[in-house]
Copies of this chain bind each other. A is one copy, B any other.
């Protein structure tokens, strides 16, 4: 399984709006090979959002970014973000809930 750990920074006051966009489309992802998609806010600053994802495969993750609903959500979120992103691809070894 493929994992992805991402962070993004919202413009001041826009964090919760971005979180709502990210959480909103999540049920749709299951049928596209997503096993887990956790949206969280930083406990140490007011603007950073973390998304931790588990996918059946790297290809499923890549394909999900091209879905019309994903592209729409990205388009809506981008103006609310500063442009500061981090991303780390992983290979899932195991655990609880995967």
Q: Chain A interface (Cβ within 8 Å of chain B)?
A: 3, 5, 19, 22-23, 26-27, 29-30, 34-44, 49-52, 54, 88-98
* Most B C-beta atoms less than 10 A away, residue of A27, A34, A43, A95: A95
Query: What does DSSP make chain A's interface, helix, strand, loop or mixed?
Result: strand
- Indicate how many identical chains form the complex: 2
Choose among B3, B27, B51 the residue that contacts A50 (Cβ–Cβ < 8 A).
B3
Please tell me if the beta carbons of A88 and B37 are within 8 angstroms of each other in the complex.
no
Residues from chain B with a CB closer than 8 A to the CB of A27 are: 96
Choose among B30, B44, B54 the residue that contacts A88 (Cβ–Cβ < 8 A).
B44
A95 to B37 CA separation, bound complex (whole angstroms): 5
Chain B residue with the shortest CB-CB distance to A2? B43
Q: How far is the CB of A34 from chain B (nearest CB, A)?
A: 6
